[in-house]
């Protein structure tokens, strides 16, 4: 791979609309034939829906098929161990098993055949290259080996970068890799850079002297919030770019290029993505400004291919053309549909609240904690929010009023904001907790 090459896989990342349609349609027909033959789960599902896979001629016919939802996968795994009725091959062909984190329920287990592993690596390499990772980078990976993100290690090596697998809960080891090995590019959750800044401050370490050149962040919304990105970039003197994947489909398949204006879809030959209305399930045209839920379909998966899997990730399309040359449309993740709150009839996402409050930096740090006293989505107003104020704020009452007014104007709901000192709210090494559930 030449360092000057703009894409990891230029052919697949710069497909024209016609080429994209042809590649995906051919792959979909092959994948459906494979699933129909090998997956008892999908044979039953298609039979109940009175659907014949031969009716699918192109990617445009995909909307004829029923959705697959997370609970179905959990039920499938509980019914038939080890990898569920939706698995399309036996465990003897599986070389690796990962687990989701289980943050929204019981963890699910994801098996990879040798082919699946290579597909994941290829897709991750496209995202890593898009996000600025290069062979000259030394990458300490602060991630546990059991979860999906552990697959990134192999991709880092394949890209030509130097992998240092420091593991989760080993921040001193990570700092040692930075000081002793010159580690300079970090792939982590969006929360981790803030945790690392807080950790370094307590240790008396100047983060700008560490020599970190880049952060590739994902795993949760927040990496693209302007003020939060600014805090990290200024705090470390590094570039921050956002990435995203889905554990049940592909470890990484979205990446933010040098223009930092949304994450490109990079999985043309490995999965198909739709955007649907989360309430009606209607497929939406992918165009600038559209908002909806991501739905994925595997195109070349052997172990556990999924058809029209509802991710619950709520996104906004930022644009469909980019000066970088990649033709995959760009999105920003707004939040998860299962984290959405309905306040006086208005849909509100925790990440949107954080975005608004972060916009008042340096009067705020961007750290928030929302308290809810009953199961979501319905929340009785005013919404209770803790927010950290900036170091130099003198008039807390004025800031409280300003935040509450801004939230009412921007997100159309009433709030009761409690301001707390900087450093009061916890910094999370893994995923940030934005909602405290007191019920």
pLDDT: is 339 or 250 the higher one?
250
Task: Find the mean pLDDT for residues 346-352.
Answer: 89
What tokens were used for 400? 């409280």
- Domain annotation for the chain: domains and CATH numbers: 341-437 (3.30.300.30)
Weakest-pLDDT range from 210-219, 222-231, 316-325: 222-231
Q: What is the pLDDT of residue 406?
A: 96
Q: What is the pLDDT of residue 3?
A: 52
The reported pTM is 0.88
Chain segment 54-91, per-residue pLDDT in tens: 888 899 999 999 999 999 999 999 999 999 999 999 99
Strand order, beta sheet including 415-420 = 415-420, 383-389, 364-372, 435-437
Structural contact between residues 78 and 85, judged by C-beta atoms closer than 8 angstroms: no
pLDDT: is 358 or 142 the higher one?
358
Q: What is the pLDDT of residue 106?
A: 64
Alpha helices in 102-191, H assignment, sequence order:
114-130, 152-159, 171-181
Look over the chain and give the mean of its residue pLDDT values, rounded to a whole number: 92
pLDDT at 179 over 60: yes
* C-alpha distances out from residue 275 to 106, 252, 395, Å: 26, 18, 44
pLDDT at 100 over 80: no
Q: What is the pLDDT of residue 53?
A: 87
Chain segment 411-435, per-residue pLDDT in tens: 999 999 999 999 999 887 777 789 9
pLDDT at 250 over 60: yes
DSSP string, 316-334: EEEES--TTS--S-EEEEE
Task: Find the mean pLDDT for residues 220-242.
Answer: 92
State how far Cα 114 lies from the chain centre: 24
Q: What is the pLDDT of residue 338?
A: 76
Chain segment 270-282, per-residue pLDDT in tens: 999 999 999 999 9
Residue 330 pLDDT level (bands cut at 50, 70, 90) = very high
Percent of the chain topping pLDDT 90:
79
pLDDT at 102 over 70: no
pLDDT: is 366 or 149 the higher one?
366
């Amino acid at each position: 791979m030449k360092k000057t090459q703009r894409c990891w896989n230029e052919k697949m990342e710069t497909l024209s609309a016609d080429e994209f349609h042809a590649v995906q349609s051919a792959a979909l027909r092959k994948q459906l034939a494979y699933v129909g033959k090998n997956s008892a789960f999908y044979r039953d599902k298609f039979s109940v829906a009175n659907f014949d896979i031969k009716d699918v001629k192109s990617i445009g016919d995909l909307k004829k098929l029923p959705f697959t939802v997370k609970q179905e996968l959990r039920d499938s795994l509980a019914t038939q161990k080890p990898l569920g009725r939706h698995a399309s091959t036996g465990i003897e062909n599986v070389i690796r098993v990962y687990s989701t984190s289980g943050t929204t329920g019981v963890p699910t287990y994801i098996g990879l055949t040798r082919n699946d592993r290579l597909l994941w690596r290829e897709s991750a390499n496209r995202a890593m290259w898009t996000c600025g990772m290069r062979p000259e980078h030394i990458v300490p990976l602060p991630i546990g080996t059991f979860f999906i993100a552990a697959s990134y290690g192999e991709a880092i090596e394949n890209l030509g970068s130097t992998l240092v697998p420091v593991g989760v809960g080993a921040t001193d080891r990570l700092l040692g890799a930075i000081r002793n090995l010159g580690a300079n590019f970090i792939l982590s959750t969006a929360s981790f850079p803030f945790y690392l800044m807080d950790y370094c401050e307590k240790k008396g370490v100047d983060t700008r002297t560490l020599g970190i050149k880049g952060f590739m962040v994902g795993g949760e919304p927040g990496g693209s919030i302007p003020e939060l990105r600014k805090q990290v970039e200024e705090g470390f003197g590094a570039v921050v770019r956002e990435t995203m994947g889905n554990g049940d489909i592909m470890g990484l398949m979205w990446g933010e290029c040098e223009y930092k204006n949304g994450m490109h879809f990079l999985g043309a030959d490995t999965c198909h993505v739709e955007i649907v209305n989360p309430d009606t399930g209607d497929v939406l045209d992918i165009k600038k400004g559209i908002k909806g839920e991501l739905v994925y379909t595997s195109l070349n998966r052997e172990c556990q291919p999924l058809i029209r899997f509802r991710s619950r990730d709520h996104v906004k399309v930022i644009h469909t053309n980019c000066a970088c040359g990649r033709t995959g449309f760009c999105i920003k993740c707004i939040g998860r549909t299962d984290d959405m709150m309905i306040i006086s009839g208005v849909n509100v996402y925790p990440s949107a609240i954080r975005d608004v409050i972060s916009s008042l930096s340096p009067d705020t740090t961007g750290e928030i904690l929302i308290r809810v006293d009953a199961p979501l989505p319905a929340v009785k107003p005013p919404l209770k929010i803790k927010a950290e104020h900036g170091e130099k704020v003198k008039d807390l009452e004025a800031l409280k009023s300003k935040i509450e007014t801004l939230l009412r104007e921007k997100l159309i709901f009433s709030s009761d904001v409690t301001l707390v000192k900087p450093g009061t709210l916890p910094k999370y090494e893994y995923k940030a907790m934005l909602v405290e559930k007191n019920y």
